[in-house]
Structure 1
Amino acid sequence: MELDERQRAYWRSNLRLTFTLLGVWFGVTFVGGYFASALNTVSFLGFPLGFYLFAQGALLVYLAIIVIYVLAMNRLDRRYRFNSRH
């Protein structure tokens, strides 16, 4: 099946969004986790600050990634006139 130009543009936009959000996920999960130990000298609510920021902050960023993906894909669907209901 050959894709037309509109479908290729939609797919490129979809991949760009996906890879960008995966980059954010990677940064929060691995880079943030790597540097979280440097913050453990400070305590917050009885927990080391690095642990608290990593455990709680990462969850908020993951939730934001999901919300951004849903909103951006809905906007892409409208822009390229794709109906998500089959």
Structure 2
Amino acid sequence: MTDPLTEAPMTVGTLTARHRAYWRRTQGLTVALLLLWFAVTFLAGFCAAELNAYEFLGFPLGFYILAQGALIAYLFIIGIYVLAMNWLDRRYGVGERR
């Protein structure tokens, strides 16, 4: 089996093993980060009532986590996506040319 990273450049109308591998990795990353987003958005909301028994800085903990922690988690998810996609672009030789 050939190494997908050292194959010849893609010609019009064909999809090389390198590009299929890149697309599989991109899809896997997207699914993983969407699952993380789902967990932050919905699963944390289900636990909010129990967490409201505690306080943080004078606010119910469930409210504080959803109001502040979710925003931080979303920024974290975006940062992971940007870094991972830049790494994948360089590794597979696709993406923007600078």
TM-score by length of 1: 0.91
Larger-Rg structure: 2
Unaligned runs of 5+ in 1: none
Note if 1:51 corresponds to 2:63: yes
Q: Given residue 24 of structure 2, which amino acid in structure 1 is its aligned partner?
A: R
- Give the superposition deviation at 1:59: 0.7
Q: Given residue 60 of structure 1, which amino acid in structure 2 is its aligned partner?
A: I
What is aligned with 1:74? 86
Runs of 4+ in structure 1 displaced over 3 angstroms?
none
Asked which structure has the greater RCO (Cα within 8 Å, sep 6+), the reply is 1
Q: Distance in 2 between matches of 1:5 and 1:67?
A: 28
TM-score by length of 2: 0.81
**Count of aligned positions:** 86
Question: Percent of pairs identical after alignment?
Answer: 59
Correspondence list, 1:1-86, <5 A: 1-85=13-97
RMSD: 1.4
What is aligned with 2:8? none
Unaligned runs of 5+ in 2: 1-12
Between Structure 1 and Structure 2, the one with more helix by share is 1
Q: Given residue 90 of structure 2, which amino acid in structure 1 is its aligned partner?
A: R
